[in-house]
Structure 1
């Protein structure tokens, strides 16, 4: 019985997966540094993002979407309210619940932070990559989209 040698393509793909995970993590941290939303927890950032993308929601709906207990989400929302990022209004369908939405100040902060991150990335691309490398990066972005699109 002979031992099978490792598949070189699988070995390369595994190494690439590890490098990509590390590089994407570093890129996310660098982009986060450019944002100006303060010292928000990961859960708080996800709640703001969900409210921005999906619109107003109740604490219960947010908790279900994030896979956490409503009590924990209530604490998260209370902190976001105290910071002036979210506001609540009675649910028109169920007056016992509150529908949460982003405040105009939060929406502005999100847009400002997004613009700052894109500006930083634009400047880094222009400063550090030659035109041919920029074209390679554009191709790589297309490949990354294929990896994450379902």
Structure 2
């Protein structure tokens, strides 16, 4: 039992470091470095979930509403989001992506996936098969 615990702890350590390094490398494959990762995360949430209020966006991004207000102001000033009146609550606004934001997100994904495809191309077929299985397992870990 003690050996299993040690093996699990060592795996947790190695996996954490590998994921952090990999994530850092992937994040560095940026198209527009003037847009922060926080801004990209908010834009990606809007793309995934559709238009929403700043409060809803803050909840999705796990930040305080005043912080999200600053993000929305910055994104609006760059022409990446629009604010429109909420259809049923006059005190609220709805944040949505502009075509420029859609283009930016598409280019960001394209750049990262091009880099990753190049990295994967250099691996053996067996290594790519292991990564296919690992991707499923990592998704399971992230969901739980």
- Does the alignment pair 1:81 with 2:81? no
Distance 1:44 1:7 in 2: 44
Distance 2:37 2:3 in 1: 38
Q: Which moved more, 1:99-108 or 1:58-67?
A: 58-67
1:3 corresponding residue in structure 2: none
Q: Helix, strand or coil for the counterpart of 2:89?
A: coil
Per the TM alignment, residue 38 of structure 1 is displaced from its structure 2 partner at its CA by 2.2
Q: Helix, strand or coil for the counterpart of 2:22?
A: helix
Distance 1:147 1:35 in 2: 26
How big is the alpha-carbon RMSD for the aligned residues of Structure 1 and Structure 2?
Answer: 1.8
2:142 corresponding residue in structure 1: 148
2:28 corresponding residue in structure 1: 33
Distance 1:144 1:69 in 2: 28
Higher radius of gyration, 1 or 2? 1
In structure 1, the gaps of 5 or more residues are 1-5
Q: Structure 1 residues 149, 64: closer, same or farther in 2, change over 3 A?
A: closer
Deviations 1:57-81 (A, max 9, x none): 1112222333433222211110111
TM-score (norm 1): 0.85
TM-score (norm 2): 0.88
2:54 corresponding residue in structure 1: 59
In structure 2, the gaps of 5 or more residues are none
- Does the alignment pair 1:139 with 2:133? yes
Distance 2:14 2:135 in 1: 16
Distance 1:69 1:142 in 2: 32
TM superposition outliers: structure 1 runs of 4+ over 4 Å = none
Q: Helix, strand or coil for the counterpart of 2:83?
A: strand
Distance 1:118 1:97 in 2: 37
Distance 2:67 2:138 in 1: 34
Distance 1:69 1:79 in 2: 16
